[in-house]
């Protein structure tokens, strides 16, 4: 079983205002122990991604926080990022590991599939994430149950991340069973994302 307190893995909002968001993010990173940051933009505009990546890389690396990007493999080297988070664990991960090298962080979202998680780990992923763990109107409606995390933490050494529609109750339930909580949309809709994050993660303290 996971013995340590789970760490916070922060996911950026899909739309970012570079005039205001870096200061907001810095406030959160200075107040809470953030273990990893995922740049996850809705935009497919290359210039937008490059400008945002540059701004967040400086902020994250100044605080020794690894910064990974969702899916855009070619941006990792261009932006000097620490790795990539794959939204589809069935991509050719073993080949990607060979291309990116041993130092790069490669994470894989595996939905609710234990099989995909095991396959990703065998192919060289540094972590797998399962979700959503809470009820959401998005996707198929299938949830990654606590039993999946319990099995994983008992049987597999590879770090596991819980994400998707987190609540305080879910955080409390999964805290003994997961290594990380990936938190994003749960806090960004709030007028005070830091207060929302502090409240959501209260069961960890």
Q: What is the pLDDT of residues 75-96, one digit of tens each?
A: 999 999 999 999 988 888 999 9
Helix/strand/coil for 81 = coil
CA separation for the pair 41, 39 (Å, rounded)? 6
- pLDDT reading at 163 higher than 60: yes
| Closest to 200 in 3D by CA, of 188, 130, 177 | 188
**79: phi then psi, degrees, rounded to nearest 5:** -95, -5
> Residue 90 contacts by C-beta under 8 Å, 6 or more apart in sequence?
116, 119
Q: In the predicted model, what is the mean pLDDT of residues 96-108?
A: 95
* Total-model pTM: 0.95
| Predicted pLDDT at 3 | 57
pLDDT tens digits, one per residue of 134-151 = 998 666 779 999 999 999
- pLDDT reading at 2 higher than 70: no
Burial class (CB in 10 A: 0-12, 13-18, 19+), 66: middle
CA separation for the pair 89, 183 (Å, rounded)? 19
> Residue 99 contacts by C-beta under 8 Å, 6 or more apart in sequence?
none
CA separation for the pair 59, 50 (Å, rounded)? 14
Tell me the domains of the chain and their CATH numbers.
Answer: 7-189 (3.20.20.70)
| Predicted pLDDT at 123 | 95
| Closest to 38 in 3D by CA, of 65, 4, 74 | 65
């Amino acid at each position: 079983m996971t013995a340590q307190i789970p760490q916070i893995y922060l996911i950026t909002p899909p739309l970012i205002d570079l005039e205001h968001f870096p200061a907001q993010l810095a406030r959160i990173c200075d107040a809470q122990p953030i273990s990893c940051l995922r740049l996850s933009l809705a935009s497919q505009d290359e210039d937008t991604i490059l400008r945002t990546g540059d701004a967040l890389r400086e902020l994250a690396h100044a605080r020794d926080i690894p910064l990974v990007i969702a899916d855009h493999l070619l941006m990792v080297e261009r932006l000097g990022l620490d790795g990539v988070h794959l939204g589809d664990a069935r991509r050719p991960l073993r080949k990607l590991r060979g291309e990116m090298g041993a130092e790069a962080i490669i994470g894989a979202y595996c939905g609710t599939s234990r099989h995909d998680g095991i396959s990703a780990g065998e192919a060289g992923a540094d972590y797998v994430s399962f979700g959503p763990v809470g009820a959401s109107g998005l996707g198929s409606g299938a949830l990654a149950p606590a039993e999946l995390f319990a099995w994983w933490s008992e049987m597999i050494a590879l770090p596991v991340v819980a994400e998707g529609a987190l609540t305080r109750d879910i955080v409390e339930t999964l805290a003994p069973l997961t290594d990380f909580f990936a938190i994003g949309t749960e806090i960004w809709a709030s007028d005070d994302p830091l207060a929302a994050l502090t409240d959501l993660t209260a069961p960890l303290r």
